[in-house]
Amino acid sequence: MEHHKKMYHMEIAHRYGTETIIEFSRIIERDEHIIRASYAESTEWIKSAEFVEMIIHDAVFLLGFFLQTGTQKYQRNEDILFDVPCHITPILEDLILLENQLPYALLENLFEPFLFQFRFEETLRDIILRVFSSDILQICFDVSVWQHLVCLKSRAEQPKIIKSLYNADKLDSAGVEFANVGEENDLSLVIVFKGGVLTMPCFTVEENTERVMRNIMTLEQCHYPLSAYVCNYIAFLNFLIDTDADVDLLVKKDVIKKNKNWLGHQGSVAEMVNKLCLGLVDFGSYYEPIAEKLKKHYNSSLHRSVATLRRVYFKDIWTGTATVAAVVLLILALVQTVASVLQVTQSDPKSPPPQAPPRGK
């Protein structure tokens, strides 16, 4: 990889001029103390010149890689990384890991002026999203890259913790319907419970879902604990999923979608979601009011009774038709019985007249 980084360094200098590389180095030297402070481990043991050279090689490699992968303007020359496609996926998976990332603010400072100068029609954010082609990363950019005003709210306005919630199978037994928000809102994390219908965004399960989600959740826990929207969403999903039956139900309702390349069984989905929440620090959930509504719905005996009737006697058109027919026959039989009794009573002259109730003293 170090060899490839040097090659990309030379390629960018050749295409866009050595002045571009010099400007990159100047920005890195200017912000060196900020960059060093972005890492958990101390970098004091690295000399300044070596540190700047290391960062410039990593940054320029990312620039070349993103331009080749995410734009049409950059025509690739011979490049072993792209000549052998199986090399691309490990690089993308490696870049997702928090410990292997450069500070995003640094990338913006370096590349936004560069993209503007050379008239690229897209921002760095747009290019990165195209490179990863990930809905999860889109959500991450929308809610976690920039500081949100919600972080500035007082503690009194912070959401409450969800202490308990019934799983999907139990909620279904109480008549709760599950629905997908639809493709037009596929990147939304909004969950709504209205009219007995719980509308949720689709959770797509792929080979790298756990890796991506774990890193986004870690990012939120470290830097945005009071606006941890993705953590809130996964924790809410964790309440709904306890067993394979819960996963089966949510897959059937399109709330969970398994990628065609996913080879795991339903239990592995439940295990993955449950593992994601291990060690999660709970600062409150924006879905707490919805959880309370769901518990109130489940605890209603009327809702459970109606749901039982629907599940047992109206689970499909055939069962429903048979139930209606049986009820109609029962009513007709009851009417016929009452009519027969009345006819016999009216036609029997020996039948004693009705007695008036005794008067009280």
| pLDDT tens digits, one per residue of 275-309 | 999 888 888 999 999 999 999 999 988 876 666 66
The overall average pLDDT reported for the chain is 80
**Residue 222 — very low, low, confident or very high, per pLDDT cuts 50/70/90?**
confident
Note the pLDDT tens digit of each residue in 79-116. Answer: 767 766 677 778 887 887 777 778 888 999 999 899 88
Q: What is the pLDDT of residue 64?
A: 87
Q: At what angle do helices 104-117 and 124-132 cross, to 10 degrees?
A: 110
Instruction: Provide the pLDDT for residue 145.
Output: 43
Whether pLDDT at 250 is above 90: yes
Residue 317 bridge partners (DSSP): none
Query: What is the predicted pLDDT for the residue at 267?
Result: 80
25: burial class by Cβ within 10 Å (0-12, 13-18, 19+)? middle
Please report the pLDDT score of residue 153 as a whole number: 39
Torsion from C-alpha of 280, 285, 291, 292, nearest 10 degrees: 120
Of residues 78, 62, 75, the one with CA closest to residue 111: 62
Q: Residue 354 pLDDT > 70, yes or no?
A: no
Handedness of CA 248, 138, 159, 274 (dihedral sign): positive
Q: What type of residue is 8?
A: Y
pLDDT at 149 over 60: no
Record the pTM.
Answer: 0.64
Instruction: Find how far residue 243's CA is from the centre of its chain.
Output: 19
Region of poorest pLDDT, from 71-80, 102-111, 119-128, 187-196: 71-80
Residue found under tokens 């009794």: 341
pLDDT, one tens digit per residue, over 312-340 is 555 666 666 766 777 777 787 787 787 77
* DSSP classification of residue 151: G
More confident residue, 345 or 34: 34
Other residues' Cβ atoms within 10 Å of the Cβ of residue 64: 22
Radius of gyration for the alpha carbons in the chain, expressed in angstroms and rounded? 32
The Cα 206–Cα 38 span in angstroms is 30
Angstrom CA distances, 94 to 132, 159, 215, stand at: 12, 34, 11
pLDDT score of 157 more than 90:
no
pLDDT for the residue numbered 356? 57
CB 231, CB 176: distance < 8 Å = no
**pLDDT on residue 257:** 86
Domain extent listing, the chain: 2-133, 151-299
Instruction: Tell me how far apart the alpha carbons of residues 46 and 52 are, in angstroms, rounded to a whole number.
Output: 10
Q: What is the pLDDT of residue 186?
A: 60
Q: Which residue has the tokens 């007249």?
A: 353
Of 179 and 4, more confident: 179
User: Does the structure show a pLDDT above 80 at 168?
Assistant: yes
- Which pLDDT score, from 0 to 100, does residue 360 have? 55
CB burial of residue 163 (10 Å; 0-12, 13-18, 19+): exposed
Those residues with Cβ within 8 angstroms of residue 70's Cβ, 6 or more apart along the chain or in another chain: 122, 126, 127, 128, 130, 131
C-alpha separations of 93 from 64, 105, 140, 211, 216 in Å: 17, 21, 16, 8, 13
